[in-house]
Chains A and B, each alone.
Chain A
């Protein structure tokens, strides 16, 4: 299916990756290829410079910003169940969060941008890691106006601050909401619940009364189909 256009797309992306390598390696950007996609990891302070080049230069022509989102890497790779070798007590249903390694310094939060070039028909992903204690990154609204609401969303859900954003308010959560709900340390059931109180004749907030529970534990299984990952994914993408 659609193998002809796929090959064309792969060729364009290969070319894009090598051009990116050439142009941005002295800005200490890294180019990654996986699953037939190109990712450019940009240092926090170089974002605007890189964004401007990607937008203005006809060679790239990334005139459309498709998406901006935050990612919290603090639980990355942590399973709730140990799966290598059965313990002599068997598997329990209980789910204990395993303490994982702290993510590397300033590798917890990232802002991820998805760009689309209509003229060259290519896509590119930018990833910018931001400081864990002071997650601040420059806003790309001056480059792509569509970043406005996406950055508000990333601020709302992850607490990433976008420096230079014209109107950085919360967007999806309730008026007066406290916390950044998509961070991995924010519980799925939330912190507060709301009900109408007859005595006070108004809606009040209280701490949640339910306990969190895990229906299906998070497990990671070694799958030998994916072991030689670097070779196979590339082959699969090329095929």
Chain B
């Protein structure tokens, strides 16, 4: 019998299944993993150090670039920490807008996760379906902030502006003719809320489509059931949050337990898994897609009925309107001060967290009373999930590493920061 040696395999950093720039050094015994050592930091941009050299508001766009598939949730965590430090609270309409866009973001993130996870494991079609729906949600981002991904829409004290009354329309071009344009614009005749409502009405059927492809699929189950099992005790020890924790059967969700924005005003459930394997985490996230859709519908209803301000009326923090700036001396001074210097929150330290699609996204800010944060620490959920890589893949086959990376929903923007 030939002698079999253990060998070390380098996986990534440029590998389509590594979801970004993950370098894994795997010690293998044949095809079985003995030890996995993830090397991270290839996308490290020192966001936290950069934030120390900028006024508070100028770091909001950096937050979009952390977890770049759940942009607004990151902004929400940061903005909430600043608001806590300043002792201000956004108007109720802004809270509902944030709730709605957090859930739109959750759907965006979970669709991205579902598509890529399934693609890694060998199912191509789900990816195409998921990206079809992401397109509509990106349009919502664009309508409200002008950017399809990096929105910078949430601001301390509210949101940048109210929801638009008109959706941007497709134009006829050399490639797209009149009839196609009309078909594409059909759902875009009304306001943004009409567009989102149309989406929310269609979406449960679309989730059924994904489930038809995967939930009872033999190959999908063979690849995910019993893979990467984490017991509830270990999940807590390892600092898991979000769907990774709920997949192990712990019903912990910051939206319910430490409620923020308008989450205590809307009705939704927390999907929880039982076995803590990849398949249960899949079911949890599919359940979250449906729950997010429920929340969005309730927000639409409320936002239709309750117009109002979306930003606090304190011009030490929020920019005055254009008219005010042009007509009023004080408005001009406020505008000038805000854009040249920013605002100085009181001395102190805060930690504020939101339930981002991947888990608990928190910001710890130390302020010494200056116009820039003294220290900003971003607590990214993916960081502690990836730290458990070794434990989760130990004893599994090489192909299961890909399934485990998929189920963790890692995005290197937030892990490397």
Listed in ascending order, the chain A residues whose CB lies under 8 Å from chain B are 1-2, 4-5, 9, 34-37, 39, 63-67, 69, 71-72, 75-77, 79, 112, 114, 118, 121, 123, 125, 144-146, 148-150, 170-174, 181-182, 188, 214-216, 218-221, 223, 226, 229, 232-233, 236-237
Contact = CB atoms under 8 A, between A and B. Distances in A.
Contact of B236 (A63, A121, A171, A226): A63
Interface string B251-265: 010000111111111
Interface string B374-394: 110101000110110000000
B53 A114 contact: no
Contact of B379 (A114, A118, A170, A181): A114
A182 B49 contact: yes
Given A67-B379, A114-B379, A233 B346 contact: yes
Interface in B350-408: 350-351, 353, 360, 362, 364, 366, 368-372, 374-375, 377, 379, 383-384, 386-387
B50 A146 contact: no
A144 to B, nearest CB: 7
B87 A76 contact: no
A118 B46 CA distance: 31
Interface residues of B, number: 66
Q: Which of A64, A173, A174 has the most CB of B within 10 A?
A: A64
B236 A219 contact: no
B135 interface: no
A54 B340 CA distance: 45
B383 A71 contact: no
Contact of B237 (A112, A144, A237): A144
B54 A216 contact: yes
B384 A114 contact: no
Interface of B: 40-41, 44, 46, 48-50, 53-55, 58, 84-85, 87, 89, 92, 95, 234, 236-239, 241, 250, 252, 257-265, 316, 340-342, 344-351, 353, 360, 362, 364, 366, 368-372, 374-375, 377, 379, 383-384, 386-387, 416-417
Given A64-B236, A172-B44, A188-B49, A5 B250 contact: no
A144 B235 CA distance: 11
B276 to A, nearest CB: 15
Given A5-B264, A123-B351, A65 B50 contact: no
Contacts of B265: 1
Nearest to A9: B258
Nearest to B91: A1
Nearest to B262: A1
B390 to A, nearest CB: 10
Contact of B95 (A1, A5, A37): A1
B37 to A, nearest CB: 9
Given A65-B239, A171-B41, A233-B348, A216 B371 contact: yes
A172 B39 CA distance: 8
Contact of B362 (A114, A118, A236): A114
Contacts of A150: 383-384
B349 A34 contact: yes
A236 B87 contact: yes
Contacts of A36: 84
A1 B362 contact: no
Given A35-B348, A35-B350, A144-B237, A218 B370 contact: yes
Given A35-B348, A114-B379, A216-B55, A121 B257 contact: yes
A114 B346 contact: no
B253 to A, nearest CB: 11
Lowest 7 CB-CB distances: which A-B pairs, in order? A146-B239, A226-B346, A172-B41, A149-B387, A69-B377, A236-B87, A67-B379
